[in-house]
Amino acid sequence: MNFSLEGRTYVVMGVANKRSIAWGIAQSLHNAGARLIFTYAAERFEKSVRDLADSLEGQDALFYQCDVTDDESITETFQQIQNDVGTIHGLAHCIAFANKDELKGDFLNTSRDGFLTAHNISSYSLTAVARAAQPLMSEGGGIVTLTYLGGERVVPNYNVMGVAKASLDASVKYLAESLGQHSIRVNAISAGPIRTLSAKGVGDFNSILKDIEERAPLRRPTTQDEVGDTAYFLLSDFSRGVTGEIIHVDSGFHIIG
């Protein structure tokens, strides 16, 4: 067994720009020799994704538009991927969304629409994508998603996204059971706060980071490449006995009371 992912193909969903956690994962997989397939939702991010992928030396990446709120878009994307490359060995789901005005204030005011939107994009999409990807993972494989501590505990302002992450965390376990018989493993990384486009303008990020620098066991914030390397582990054979797991990559913050 070695750490190389040469000859393997992975789908990375959710690169918006160079700060995206998905981009950290893409770089780790690329460095391990994997071939990459990128999906993006918004047309406006296509150029950004293509430009980033161009910077990966020797990478022959493929690109598809996929909106996870649309079943047809998901089906078409994976059918197209099957036509173009045949087999895939894994997938990184790095997608979440909630209405900005519900990521602050009192959770009690969460609207039905806001609740459903957050759950649709941030939780259900994992199941929809896993189902579409399964036929392409004929040699077995790994699925990794991204979650946050706010799904386990109440974190100020995370609100409806916390409830959606709790649902995502449970989906990881049920999907691990469904797909284990096909040698497909399903795991999540619970990342510490990283300043990405999604994180922009929500909550008081500076004070959240300061708290981590003061109280997390490692006394430093989580970086994109730390999450990327753990995703690489979870998508490689080194984690072949691990499924239905949620690994915290958060400087150890989750153990602090």
Binding site for ligand NDP (CB under 6 A): 14-16, 20-22, 40-42, 45, 67-69, 94-97, 121, 146, 148, 191, 193-194, 196-199
Q: Pick between residue 12 and residue 32 the one whose CB is nearest to ligand N5H.
A: 12
98 binds ligand N5H (CB under 6 A): yes
Is the Cα dihedral 57, 187, 249, 124 positive or negative?
Answer: positive
Return the residue of 145, 190, 198, 236 that touches ligand N5H, per CB under 6 A.
198
Determine contact, residues 71/129, Cβ cutoff 8 Å.
no
CB count in 10 Å sphere of residue 153: 9
Q: Shortest Cβ contact with ligand N5H: which residue?
A: 203
Closest to 62 (Cα-Cα) out of 42, 86, 44, 28: 86
What's at 156, amino acid-wise?
Answer: P
What's at 256, amino acid-wise?
Answer: I
Q: Pick between residue 5 and residue 103 the one whose CB is nearest to ligand NDP.
A: 103
253 binds ligand N5H (CB under 6 A): no
User: DSSP per residue over 7-35, as a string?
Assistant: T-EEEEE---STT-HHHHHHHHHHHTT-E
DSSP at 192:
P
Q: Which does 158 bind (CB under 5 to 8 A by kind): ligand NDP, ligand N5H, none?
A: ligand N5H
Cα–Cα distance, 243 to 241 (Å, whole number): 7
Q: How far from the centroid of its chain's Cα atoms is residue 145's Cα? A: 4
In the set 40, 158, 174, 232, the catalytic residue is 158
Taking the complex as a whole, how short is the minimal distance between the CB of residue 16 and ligand N5H, in angstroms?
4
Taking the complex as a whole, how short is the minimal distance between the CB of residue 187 and ligand N5H, in angstroms?
17
Q: Pick between residue 76 and residue 237 the one whose CB is nearest to ligand NDP.
A: 76
Is the Cα dihedral 247, 248, 252, 254 positive or negative?
Answer: negative
Cα–Cα distance, 27 to 245 (Å, whole number): 23
Q: Pick between residue 21 and residue 136 the one whose CB is nearest to ligand N5H.
A: 21
Catalytic (active site) residue 64: no
Catalytic (active site) residue 158: yes
CB count in 10 Å sphere of residue 7: 9
Taking the complex as a whole, how short is the minimal distance between the CB of residue 181 and ligand NDP, in angstroms?
27
Residues that bind ligand N5H (CB under 6 A): 16, 96-100, 103, 148, 150, 155, 157-158, 161, 193, 197-199, 202-203, 208
